[in-house]
Structure formats: C-alpha cells, structure tokens
Structure 1
Amino acid sequence: MEIKMTGIAKAFGTNQVLKDVNITLKAGEVHALMGENGAGKSTLMNILTGLHKADAGTVTIDGVNTTYSSPREAEKHGIAFIHQELNIWPNLSLLENLYLMQPKTNGLGMLNKQAMLQEAKAKCEEMKIDLPLTKEAGLCSVGQQQMAEILRVLMLNAKVVIMDEPSAALTERETATLFRMMRQLKEQGVAIVYISHRMEEVFSECDIITVMRDGHTISTKPVTDTTVDEVVRDMVGRSIDEFYPDRTTTPGDVILTVNHLKPKEFKHDISFDLRKGEILGVAGLMGAGRTEIMRAIFGIDSHDGGEITLNGQPLHFKKPEDAIKAGIAFITEDRKGEGLILDFSIGTNITLPNLKQVCPTHVLNKNKLVTFADTLSKKLGVKTQSVHLPASSLSGGNQQKVVIAKWIGLSPSIIIMDEPTRGIDIGAKRDIYDLMNELTSQGVSIIMVSSELPEVLGMSDRVMVIHEGAVAGILDRAAATPESIMNLATGGQ
C-alpha cells in the first residue's frame, strides 16, 4: 500500500493548522514524522484516518483518491492509529480490550472467549511478546497496555500503523520489544508512521524523516542523508549547539544533606548533598530506583532510617505537605496522572497549591486567583487563549509548564524534577532549560532525574549515578561523560 497526501490544508476557525502539507508513505518503511507540539502532525494523521476532513488537498491510496468518514472505516481498510493517550478500558481484561470492537461469537451468538484467547495467544507467540491476557487492564503496566494496543491493531491485519510517541511511557526492555515488533511488521510490508521527539530512536529505527513546522512540511529525507543537527534546525529554526543554555551560576554552600536514607525495600542506603543554586542531575538505568529515592525524600513513600537536613536542621517528613512547608517542591514524572487534574482549568491547577498564599484569610478571592494564575502562566510561556480552559486542552509541553508554574508560585528553595522534559518537543524543552537556569541564578536548587544522557550532561553541575538502588558515584561536570555515566550505571567502577 502506498499513500500520498498532497497539498493538505486544515483550519479550525481562524487557526490555520495545516498549509500545503505533502507526505508519502510506502509499504515496508518506517517513516518518522517530527516537529514541535502544535506543528500539525496529529492533525495530519487524523485527516488520513477520517477523524477530520481536509479543507484542501488530496489523499490517494495506491493511486485512487480516498476519503474515510471515520477512524473505524480507516481501520477496516487497514489504516490504524495508536494514539499517545491509550484507548484502554481499565476495568476489562486485556483480552476483552483486544476484541471490544470485533468480538468472536459461537453459533448461538454468544461470546466465544476460548477462541479469542487462543487467537490472541497465537498472535503473541508470533510477535514474541508475553502479555497477561486475562488480567484486568487497569492492573497491568503502561507498557503492557501499550503492547495490547499494538496487538489489537496487528490483529486487524493493518497495512499502515501510525504510532504517536509509543515509547514515551515504556521501560528500556519494553521499548526494545516495541522496536523488535516494528522490524517484524516492516518485514511483512507494513508501513509505519513513527511520531516521536526522541532523536536516538528515530535515527536507529526509521528509514525516512519528514519534519513539520507551523503546519508546513519543511523537509523529507532518508535517515542516512541527514543529521540530528539538520533535523533540529528544520524543527525549530536553530542549531542544536544552541539547545542547552550555558550554565553561568556558581553553586554555593550545601543546603540539603541526605545521610544514609534507606527507602522501603532498598538493600542500600543513600547519601548525597545539594548546594544552593545547583542542578544535581540524577542518572541511571530504568528501574535503578531514582524515582523511589525522590519520593522517599519528599515524604510520599516511607523509609527505614536515615536523616535529611535542610540548612543544618533535621527534617522529619511524614507526608508531602511537610516537605512543601519546608520549601521543597516535587515535579512528578507522571504529569497527567499525578501532576495535573486534567478536567480542571489551567488556572485552578496553578492555584491549588497556592490557595493559602494568595488568599490568606481563607476566603477565596476569584479575581486574585485568576490574576495569580495568569501571571504565572505568562511567566512560563504557557501557550493558551485563557487560563479558564481545561488543562487537557494543552499540548504536552504546555501541560508541563503548568505543573512547574503551580510549584513556582510557592517560591520553593529546592525543586525535585523527575523527567521534566519527557514527551515534549524541542522548543518547549529549551523553555524549561532557560527557566531552570533562571531559578538557579536566584538561588533555587534543583535535583533533576532524567533518562536522557544529553540532558543530564547539558544541564547538570554534578551528576549522581544510581545503580540498583545505590549511589554508584557522583561526578563533577568536567568528569561527566556518556562513558563515565554509563559505566557507573551498569555497575562499573
């Protein structure tokens, strides 16, 4: 199957989202679709799958002009879209989710669960994946849910599979499984559209890269004929050399000390210190315990012994509220599940932790709250028409800015940032890096947990490497290299 989208245009009201976009998808190719949030990538794919109707342009499939009336019709014709937000019913089993739209029945019209289970198991064996098919989906990991979504599409015998940030919430092992499945599909002649912000994945797994910016297609090149620097320049209009801002702040005296802290179920205890105005990067492989350490420090999870001191004073956190009162903020890696209430407005999300500060008399003043939220929203560059809109209306990068905004309002002295730029575009990343620099110049200290080595190297004053629940080493900026960090992260000396 070959698909050509030519001269595609689409506007929502006065907002022109797509303008003369062109892309060609071929059987047996993995085609990366890249661009900042808001560049039009998802809208383009939604037009292909029938969710939106193009205002102009044509879609031809194997030379025939084609328009689908709905994603369901597109799926019936072999084009499936796996969205970043998984379409999983948590109270149903993985097997029931697989057959929700295409149940198998017996001669009496009753569900034939045994036939469905046998078919699903056979497909799992074919794709070499292991899924707890009879387990309730809500009790499964995000990776297992993601694999189930992919398996559902494969059982449709799809000829084109669109994947939107499929590895964003996967562990390294699950990501490796995803890539192996993609290679199998490629060998079977399936065309894959891979929407991602992760350069290393695109350059290792994709054949073609199309870059979009501001609703236009900027370039389409084979992966072998381009570089990361060229792709970044096409995406944001500047060189990768300008990606990480210079660290000009000199860290001061030690502000936080963690001595022999032992999070629950850890074999080792943790000791390190944090200086005023410092960015302490925390690196390590998935599952090393980085997040668990931060949760224990913040009082979310309990710990078996150890001491935390702030400015020389012992702290005893029994709950996150204690840490917040001490001037510590925690930006979680799960912004949708833990960082935001998506159905609430942007303004409400920003003001929730700041109610006592904005309205100390315990009488809520709506005007004050809106002004407070609007000021912080603009300070962090949240792109929205109004803080009264729901947080769910924002792109991933802007949602992350709202999460940061609500904590900045408390004027914390220490901010723990767990994967602060996961799943957001390059432009939004740079905005967050600039903000981190500004905060540290004002004396705020930051602990930054990150799985992206370039980010750790580009932003950290020192790097603490975690291996199997222990501090494997702490490296000064000059000594921190990809090799030295990975050596410690994998158990080397």
Structure 2
Amino acid sequence: MSKYILEMKQISKHFSGVKALSDVNFKVEKGEIHCLIGENGAGKSTLMKVLSGVYPYGSYEGDILYEGNVQQFNKISDSVKTGIVIIYQELALFPDLTVYENIFVGNEVKNGGMVDWNKTIAESKKMLNKVKLDVNPDTLIKDLGVGKRQLVEIAKALSKDVKLLILDEPTAALNEDDSENLLELLRELKSQGITCIMISHKLKEVISIADKATVLRDGQTICTLDAAKGEINESNIIKNMVGRAIEDIYPKREKQAFGGKILELYNWSAYDPQLGRQVVKNVDLHVKKGEIVGIAGLMGSGRTELALSIFGNAKSYKVEGDLVIAGISKMLKHPSDAINAGIAYVTEDRKGDGLFLYQDIKSNISAANLKGISSNGLINDNEEIKIADHYKKSLTIKASSLEQIVGNLSGGNQQKVSLGKWLFVGPKLLILDEPTRGIDVGAKFEIYTVMNELIKQGMSIIMISSELGEVLGMSDRVYVMAQGEIKGELSIDEANQENIMQLATQ
C-alpha cells in the first residue's frame, strides 16, 4: 500500500484563459503535517479547491489519487464522504446558532428520521473535548472569540470522521497564544493519525510545525522541503517562494530627521455605548512628520478602537480629551472630517470594511475621493482610469486590467488596492491597521517598501500590528497598549519582544 494518502498529478486549472495552475504535482504522506506555501496568487487555495470538489471533476486537468484510488469529486460533499475536510480562512459558521448546532449542521445526529438533539449535544461535547475547548455547547457562536470559533470549526471537521484536514490560513486572525494552542492541537491530531495540510504565510509557524512543505510559485510546483533533512528554514523558504533571496524581510531606510508633531492626543478616551465600557482610556500620544509609530498589544487591547476614534470617530464612541493636528486643536465628528484634516485609515478588515469586492480596481481606488476625479458633479472616467493606473503601477498591483473585480485578486493585491484608495486622498497621516495580515512574505516586502517611500516623501504613519517582528522591523518608536491604555512608550533602540510583551500583558 502506498505511503501517500494524497497524490495530485499534473493538475492544471484555467480561469478565462488565465492559467492558475500549471501541471502541479503534490504528494502528502499519511499522518504528516504538510504545509503548502507560496506568494498570494501562487495557486495554493485553487489547488485545495480542486481537491475538495469546489472546482468539480472535468473543470481541471490531471488526476487526484486519494488512499490509492483515482477520485472524481463533483461537489464538496463528495470529498467529505471520503474523509477530506477543508476549513477556510473565513470561517463557515452560523453566528446565531449554538456551538452544537454548528458542529453537526448538515450532519445531524438522527433517530428514526428525526434529529436527536440530546444525542447531538452529547456528541458535540465529545468533539469539544477532542479539541480541548471548554465551552457550553449551548453557547451561541457570536459570543465566542475568533480562537474558539476556529476550534469549533475543527470540532465540526472531526464530527465528519476526517482523515485529511486542510486548513487555509488558520491562524491569520489569531493572537500568539491562540495560534500556539491551535498548532499544538494539530500536533495532537497528528498523533491520532490525522493528516493535515496547512496553508500559511507565517514562516515561523511553518518552521515550527511542518514535516514537509511544498512551495508553489505562479501556479507551478517549485519544490518540496523536508524538515528531517533540515531544509525548512526561513531563507530557504523565502528563496523558493519569491524566486530570490530577501536578505532582510524589513527593508532598510535612511535615517532622517523628523519634523514637527503631526498628531497629538492628550488624555484621550473613548466610550463604546454598545459594549457599555471605555475602550480607550486616557491616552497621551504623538506622531512626528516622517515617522513610523508602531502600536503593539494583544487582540482586544484597544488598538483598533483608538484608530477609529482618531479617524472621525467612525463607531460613534463618546470621546473625551484633546486631538491636535499640526498644532491646531480639532474635533473630528465624521471620517470625512478626518480626511479633510489629512488623516486616512486602512482598516484591518479589507474584505468587510475596506473594499467593494464586487467592483473593479479603478472604482475602489477612486471611492474615497470621488471629488478628485469629478467636475460639475460628474465623474471623469478618463481621469479615474489615469489615477487608478498610476497606483496600479506604483504599488505593483498584479491584475489583468483595471476592470478586474477586486474580490478575485489575491490578498496582497487587495491590500495594495486598499492602500491606493487611501493614498489618493493625499493624507499627511496614514493609519495602517494590520497592514500585512494574511499576505505572503513577498507582498509584505513590497508593502514595507511603499511605507518607507511614503515616509521619505514626508508622510507620517501609525502602524498597528500583532506581529512583533513587524513592529520592531518597521517602527521608529513604539507604543504598547493593554486594556485600552498606553502601558509604555519605547524607542526602537530599547524595544524588544520581551519588554513589549511584558507591557502588553499588564
């Protein structure tokens, strides 16, 4: 019997004449954790959609061998029946249903044709124990944090007698503790004989957990690296992913003298009426011209709430304190006030809040500054194309044309469109909230390079990030938040992962 649970041979897939996969070969051994890595647009998710039946047999070329047998999956349920379960980055849970209902949705425990709810709850408890999640099965999904929701998804997969578990960026939205807990769970599942394929952009996680790692680039298989042979290391992964060595993930920039203070906050607080509590408390903060100020902290520390309260109080918090822009005290009651004052905000949720996914690139880039391409109330289509083309080139957005639908772009290119949208308003201060979440190392390098160029041109940046390496690699100065408060301010020379985490956990 073959040692491989999965063999994908010569897989090719086309979209409107564009070859997304070209003769891809991919093998996974039974009982291993196999990481699938590559830049955004490399074909990782497409390959897994071919495997799971999202793209049915006949819509691609090549063969899928699973447990030694050629498969012809025509829909997702076909692959699930064989024990293949995929968990996507955007979790497929119903927020207003309970944990136990979500675990067994579509796979209900029945007795005589009727759903046996008592047995369903009892079985859901067994699944929750397997993933080491201590929650009441009656809990609504919307009342759980992201990390616990991810575990519910895995419990749901285990309820289907999974043999091959596929996880697409499972830790993208998790903090470090939840990420490590998830990785430990995957190791536990491996010990129970479950094979895992994990798509991830987080190289440290790949190095930590992968038995093997297959690299895709431009829809082709580049290589498979073996941890047992010492092949899975950062420099080797990057070289194969991007086709070149990136000596320093964080590009260097020339040291320059900072200008005057662009933004000052004094005793700044924000109260969220929906939550019934303060989300930002007595913050004192400043940003100078030409400076990148990092804001670090754990999820829920108030970083995004601080950004939103600055950017025209987009969530209608009750704010108190003083906000000063270029020496002038301001009261920004709406995002349009912030834009007029020279502030732009690139949200952490580019798909939910940052972009119009069903519109094209040019419409998205112009969306925040329509007056910049309008005359007498009418949009100048030629000007819109000209502006969009400028940002497509300057931000190296990879797309077939300006008419390409943004929802069809890779995560890194979506982030560049979101960035271009806000650069078009001409800000003096750019707030970047998790600017590289869910994008690959090559796209990260490009985003960092753009940031350095903007600083060189005299812009100022506030960068919120959960990646400590990113905070340390790109910031000139760091504020650390916890429980809505600034717990410390560190120069980049004195900042390190240990003292940041010490402040973040106060």
TM bracket, shorter-chain basis: over 0.9
Cα distance change, pair 57–110 in 1 and its aligned pair in 2 (3 A): closer
Aligned residue identity for 2:129: E
Q: How does 1:191-202 map to 2 (within 5 A)?
A: 191-202=195-206
Q: Which moved more, 1:447-456 or 1:459-468?
A: 459-468
Q: How does 1:20-169 map to 2 (within 5 A)?
A: 20-52=23-55, 53=57, 55-107=60-112, 109-131=113-135, 133-138=137-142, 140-169=144-173
Q: Which moved more, 1:231-240 or 1:63-72?
A: 63-72
Q: Matched residues in 2 for 1:267 and 1:399: separation?
A: 30
Q: Which moved more, 1:309-318 or 1:21-30?
A: 21-30
Please name the residue that 2:6 is paired with: 3
Q: Which moved more, 1:361-370 or 1:426-435?
A: 361-370
| Offset at residue 84 of structure 1 (A) | 1.8
Q: Which moved more, 1:264-273 or 1:157-166?
A: 264-273
Please name the residue that 2:309 is paired with: 296
The 3-state SS of whatever aligns with 2:378 is: coil
Aligned residue identity for 1:402: V
Aligned residues of 1:252 and 1:277 also touching (Cα < 8 A): yes
Please name the residue that 1:489 is paired with: 504
Q: How does 1:347-362 map to 2 (within 5 A)?
A: 347-362=362-377
Task: Pick the aligned partner of 2:299 from 281, 286, 290.
Answer: 286
Cα distance change, pair 94–360 in 1 and its aligned pair in 2 (3 A): farther
| Offset at residue 409 of structure 1 (A) | 0.6
Q: Matched residues in 1 for 2:469 and 2:174: separation?
A: 19
Cα distance change, pair 138–473 in 1 and its aligned pair in 2 (3 A): closer
- Percent sequence identity over aligned pairs: 41
Please name the residue that 1:206 is paired with: 210
CA shift digits 1:46-78 (9 cap, x unpaired): 222233347554333333333323221111001
| Offset at residue 455 of structure 1 (A) | 1.3
Task: Pick the aligned partner of 1:221 from 214, 220, 225.
Answer: 225
Q: Matched residues in 2 for 1:288 and 1:423: separation?
A: 20
Q: Matched residues in 1 for 2:95 and 2:301: separation?
A: 28
| Offset at residue 177 of structure 1 (A) | 3.5
| Offset at residue 7 of structure 1 (A) | 3.2
| Offset at residue 436 of structure 1 (A) | 0.8
The 3-state SS of whatever aligns with 1:37 is: coil
Q: Matched residues in 2 for 1:481 and 1:238: separation?
A: 28
Cα distance change, pair 64–153 in 1 and its aligned pair in 2 (3 A): same
Please name the residue that 1:255 is paired with: 262
Listed as ranges, the gaps of 5+ residues in structure 1 are none
Aligned residues of 1:466 and 1:489 also touching (Cα < 8 A): yes
Aligned residue identity for 1:165: E
| Offset at residue 481 of structure 1 (A) | 2.7
Q: Matched residues in 2 for 1:182 and 1:413: separation?
A: 45
Cα distance change, pair 481–175 in 1 and its aligned pair in 2 (3 A): closer
Q: Matched residues in 2 for 1:65 and 1:28: separation?
A: 20
Structure holding more strand per residue: 2
Aligned residues of 2:356 and 2:364 also touching (Cα < 8 A): yes
Q: Which moved more, 1:10-19 or 1:156-165?
A: 10-19
Cα distance change, pair 344–136 in 1 and its aligned pair in 2 (3 A): farther
Q: Matched residues in 1 for 2:43 and 2:421: separation?
A: 28
CA shift digits 1:283-329 (9 cap, x unpaired): 12233222222222222243552211111100112222221111101
Aligned residue identity for 1:287: G
Aligned residues of 2:280 and 2:306 also touching (Cα < 8 A): no
| Offset at residue 91 of structure 1 (A) | 4.7
Q: Which moved more, 1:23-32 or 1:393-402?
A: 23-32
Please name the residue that 1:474 is paired with: 489
Please name the residue that 1:275 is paired with: 288
| Offset at residue 278 of structure 1 (A) | 0.8
| Offset at residue 137 of structure 1 (A) | 4.0
Q: Matched residues in 2 for 1:231 and 1:138: separation?
A: 37
Q: Matched residues in 2 for 1:144 and 1:329: separation?
A: 32
Please name the residue that 1:413 is paired with: 428
Q: Which moved more, 1:37-46 or 1:297-306?
A: 297-306
Cα distance change, pair 475–91 in 1 and its aligned pair in 2 (3 A): closer
| Offset at residue 5 of structure 1 (A) | 2.3
| Offset at residue 79 of structure 1 (A) | 0.8
Cα distance change, pair 140–359 in 1 and its aligned pair in 2 (3 A): farther
Cα distance change, pair 369–20 in 1 and its aligned pair in 2 (3 A): closer
Aligned residues of 2:289 and 2:458 also touching (Cα < 8 A): yes
The 3-state SS of whatever aligns with 2:401 is: coil
Aligned residues of 1:329 and 1:416 also touching (Cα < 8 A): yes
Q: Matched residues in 1 for 2:453 and 2:180: separation?
A: 37
Cα distance change, pair 91–348 in 1 and its aligned pair in 2 (3 A): farther
Aligned residues of 2:8 and 2:27 also touching (Cα < 8 A): yes
Q: Which moved more, 1:208-217 or 1:88-97?
A: 88-97
Aligned residues of 2:175 and 2:466 also touching (Cα < 8 A): no
Aligned residue identity for 1:406: K
Q: Matched residues in 1 for 2:50 and 2:172: separation?
A: 23
| Offset at residue 42 of structure 1 (A) | 1.6
Q: Which moved more, 1:184-193 or 1:244-253?
A: 244-253
CA shift digits 1:81-111 (9 cap, x unpaired): 112232234454443333332223332x333
Q: Matched residues in 2 for 1:88 and 1:350: separation?
A: 31
TM-score w.r.t. length of structure 2:
0.90
TM-score w.r.t. length of structure 1:
0.92
Q: Does 1:236 pair with 2:242? A: yes
